[in-house]
Amino acid sequence: MNTLGYAILSVLSKRPSSGYELASCLDMLWPAKHSQIYPLLTKMEQKGLLSYEHIEQIGKPNKKIYSITEKGRITLESWIKEPASNQIVRDDFLIKVYAIWLKDEESAKKLIEDRLVKLNQQVSLQVTEIEKANEEQISTTSKQFGKYILLCRSHFLNKEEISWCHWVLNLFKSSHISKLILGLLSANTLYKIMQNLTVIVELGEF
């Protein structure tokens, strides 16, 4: 059983779903295409980890609703007991930042600004989601608790990356100024400010 299999089990342990629903649900957990999900569901059903019910629909294609079996729940519970081990981040933005010295200042700034736009979009979507969740008063024992804290985690990290983007853009700004006022705001100074504040939305226009 691979990790995707456990991700599927953990979603189905909350509620039965179709393969199609799983695909969108898994996006925040372990992104996978439908072409990987459907064959795996069949394999897991054959192993007795899942069971399914055929649902006929009008105006929509028919679907299969998968549920976790007792064997599936036992398998999942023994897996989640083991310590987490692998974390893989593959983001071509990181490579482009690494090679930023090959760019002129305008396109270097554009790289960061584009990231900012994307992050701001994500953050504003998350704000509404979190506000909705907060109204429901989710307790630590709720089925929704895991999803809620993951949502907040992603939100906090996105906001932190937004701060980082502003910090980088300010390094460009201050590098211009330091040609005039030598080293007034060095990278080191800005780094120390960063250590104490979260959101540097605007450091002013200098």
What is the H or E stretch that residue 64 is in? strand 63-68
User: What residues numbered 23-82 form the site for a copy of itself, per CB under 8 A?
Assistant: 28-31, 76-77, 80-81
Give CA angle at 160 (137, 83), nearest 5°. 70
* Neighbour count for residue 193 (Cβ, 10 Å): 14
Tell me which of 25, 32, 111, 190 binds DNA, using CB under 7 A. Answer: 32
Distance spanning both ends of the chain, measured CA to CA:
57
Q: By CB under 7 A, is residue 188 in contact with DNA?
A: no
By CB under 7 A, the residues from 1 to 30 that bind DNA are 2-4, 18-21, 24, 30
| 186 touches a copy of itself by CB under 8 A | yes
Least spacing, CB of residue 88 vs a copy of itself, in Å: 5
Structure tokens at 105: 């200042």
Interface with a copy of itself includes 172 (CB under 8 A)? yes
Burial classification of residue 8, based on how many CB atoms lie within 10 Å of its CB (0-12 exposed, 13-18 middle, 19 or more buried): buried
Tokens found for residue 202: 């605007």
Residue 103 near residue 111, CB atoms below 8 Å? yes
Q: Are 176 and 205 in contact (CB under 8 A)?
A: no
Instruction: Please compute, for residue 194, the number of CA atoms within 13 A of its CA located in the half-sphere on the CB side.
Output: 18
> Where is 63: in which H helix or E strand?
strand 63-68
Q: Is 128 in the site for a copy of itself (CB under 8 A)?
A: no
Nearest approach, Cβ of 54 to DNA (angstroms)? 9
Q: Which of 47, 63, 64, 147 binds a copy of itself (CB under 8 A)?
A: 147
Nearer to DNA, 32 or 190 (CB): 32
User: Can residue 206 be called a binding residue for a copy of itself (CB under 8 A)?
Assistant: no
Q: Which of 46, 56, 57, 180 binds DNA (CB under 7 A)?
A: 57
Site for DNA in 62-101 (CB under 7 A): 62-64, 88, 90
The single residue among 19, 22, 148, 166 that binds a copy of itself, judged by CB under 8 A, is: 148
Q: Where on the chain is the footprint of DNA (CB under 7 A)?
A: 2-4, 18-21, 24, 30-36, 38-39, 41-42, 57, 59-64, 88, 90
